[in-house]
Amino acid sequence: MTNFKKILVLDDETNMRHMLDIMLTQWDYEVSTASNGFEGLKKIESQQFDIILCDLKMPELDGIGFLSQAKYKAKDTAIIMMSAYGTIETAVSAMKMGAYDYISKPFKADEIFMVLSKAYERNNLKQENIFLKKQIATFENQYQFGKMIAKNKKMLSVFKLAGKAADYDTTVLITGDSGTGKEMIAKGIHFTGKRKKKPFIPVNCGSIPETLLDSELFGHIKGAFTGADKYKKGLFEEAEKGSLFLDEVGEMPLCLQVKLLRVLQENEIRPVGSSKTKKIDVRIIAATSKNLSAEVENKTFRRDLFYRLNVLPIELPPLCKRTEDIPMLVDRFIKKYNLKFKKNIKGVASSAMSYMLLYKWPGNVRQLENTIERSILLCDSKLIKDNNISNEIKENKSNSNLDDLLMGYSLKTAQKLLEKKMITKALCKTKGNRTKAAALLEISHPSLLNKIKTYHI
């Protein structure tokens, strides 16, 4: 033992304390002593110890009494009980109460040395475990928001912006293609913010008939229309103190856009058939796959409402623009559907992954998840293989590659795209072995490493 380690010795016998002080100091321990349990409790309140050696039989407050209080005040400290002959049962009881170990008196130097060594090693492992858990949590938080995961720089920027949005009640407008995860971002904003214990109410503005949408959102009073035989709360009232997620807000008819604008301006609603307004406290998170700026120009969406919704815009990139996220998304979906279908699929064959990486994914993450679900159902081995993937994905492999290369007129851009796709293909083929991938690509290993870094592969 070379580092100083703090140890507290509790024993009412002066000779025992003196002997242990000399012995432990020689082993590079920093020793403090106490003659009873009360004195020991004062010591642990003022400083932290790695190990506590505590005698069972002491006046005023004995070892058991000390242990019952110390295990809450010194949770990370290993407490070793010292017991004379005839008190072994008491020592075992002490271990059941939380003591790390016990040693019988009289003991030899090597016996106490071994017990202390094990206790200190246990403390080190415990601290390392705590440190590693913190590191893992930090890593996961870095690439995760709510239930979404990503490595792509644009998506990490989205996570950062959404995290800031979660701290405030400002209106958020989430845009992106269908299947990119707009509702998941909305849930992440709600459930990581101060309203997380209150309701999160999603409503798809495009799926509810126009004639019913008014009543669904704002509620109605008894007798407001035929069939309204009682008062009905609208979704705004249901979401009180929480968040209302207006999905596909671009589908909302113009007549209701006026009402929504009033809610955003005045924080109040008027149920259908009522002459009175009600104050509400609801956070609005809206989403759309439409280009609302174009809808405003076409006069199908109110300009003033657009500005009210677009306070904090968040745009989600399509999956084809974040291909580096595909392997980790695939891994997550495999775990999800293994559990659902009680299967044990270990992963995806390199050739099948190559198809997935080069496919355009017009349905984005939702389509990828559906593909993995289907593949797991069809898979009869430990790996998802080519024959488990739909022909649509395999047939579009070459076309998607060609489409990328033909966008624009820059030869430099086309060369970069081709290099990135070829490197990705080679790494998939070699299961990540860079030396073998460099040989397939007919370039040097340092050159491959440089390109991997340049293209963020």
Q: CA angle, 151 as apex, 427 and 142 as ends, to 5°?
A: 140
Query: Using CA atoms, how far apart are residues 440 and 438, in angstroms rounded to an integer?
Result: 5
260-269, 314-323, 401-410: segment of lowest average pLDDT: 401-410
Percent of the chain with pLDDT over 70: 92
Does residue 33 register a pLDDT over 80?
yes
pLDDT: is 288 or 132 the higher one?
288
Q: Is the pLDDT at 178 greater than 90, yes or no?
A: yes
Q: Which residues contact 202 (CB under 8 A, 6 or more apart)?
A: 183, 186, 245, 247
Q: Could you tell me what percentage of the chain is helix, strand and coil, using 3-state DSSP and rounding each to the nearest 5?
A: 55, 15, 30
DSSP H stretches of helix in 146-301: 153-166, 182-191, 210-218, 235-238, 254-266, 292-297
Q: Is the pLDDT of residue 3 over 60?
A: no
Residue with the bigger pLDDT between 378 and 124: it is 378
Where residue 247 falls among pLDDT bands split at 50, 70, 90? very high
What is the per-residue pLDDT for 265? 92
Length of the chain: 457
Domains of the chain, earliest start first: 5-136 (3.40.50.2300), 150-317 (3.40.50.300), 320-454 (1.10.8.60)
Reported in sequence order, the residue ranges of 36-185 that DSSP labels E, i.e. its strands, are 51-55, 78-83, 101-104, 144-145, 148-149, 172-175
Give the pLDDT mean for 9-38. 91
CB 321 within 8 A of CB 311: no
pLDDT band of 97, cuts 50, 70, 90: confident
Name the token pair of 353.
């992954």
Q: How many CA atoms lie within 13 A of 134 on its CB side?
A: 6
Instruction: Check whether 96 has a pLDDT greater than 70.
Output: yes
Contacts made by residues 46-50, CB under 8 angstroms, sequence distance 24+: 47/6, 48/6, 48/74, 48/76, 48/77, 49/6, 49/7, 49/8, 49/74, 49/77, 50/5, 50/6, 50/7, 50/77, 50/78, 50/120, 50/123
More confident residue, 299 or 395: 299
Q: C-alpha distances in angstroms, 202 versus 2, 165, 182, 283, 294?
A: 61, 18, 11, 12, 25
Which pLDDT score is estimated for 398? 45
Q: Is the pTM of this model over 0.85?
A: no
Ramachandran class of 35: left when φ > 0, alpha when ψ lies in -120 to 50, beta otherwise = alpha
Is residue 95 pLDDT above 90, yes or no? Answer: no
- Six-digit token pair at 379? 């898979």
More confident of the two residues 430 and 178: 178
State the pLDDT confidence band at 88, using cuts at 50, 70 and 90.
low
> Which helix (H) or strand (E) covers residue 427, if one does?
helix 411-429
Mean pLDDT of 393-406: 58
Under the banding of pLDDT at 50, 70 and 90, the label for residue 2 is very low
Spatial distance between the Cα atoms of 218 and 215, rounded to a whole number of angstroms: 5
- Per-residue pLDDT tens digits for 317-337: 999 999 889 999 999 999 999
Please say if the pLDDT value at position 400 is more than 60: no
Query: If pLDDT is split at 50, 70 and 90, which confidence band does 137 have?
Result: low
Q: How high does pLDDT run on average in the chain?
A: 87
Predicted pLDDT of residue 87 = 63
pLDDT at 99: 86
pLDDT, average across residues 51-71: 88
- Whether 173 contacts 289, CB under 8 Å: no
Give Cβ neighbours of residue 324 (< 8 Å, ≥ 6 apart).
151, 152, 456, 457
**pLDDT at res. 408:** 63
- Give the pLDDT band of residue 399 (cuts 50, 70, 90): very low
Cα-based distances in Å from 153 to 184, 189, 369, 416: 18, 19, 21, 18
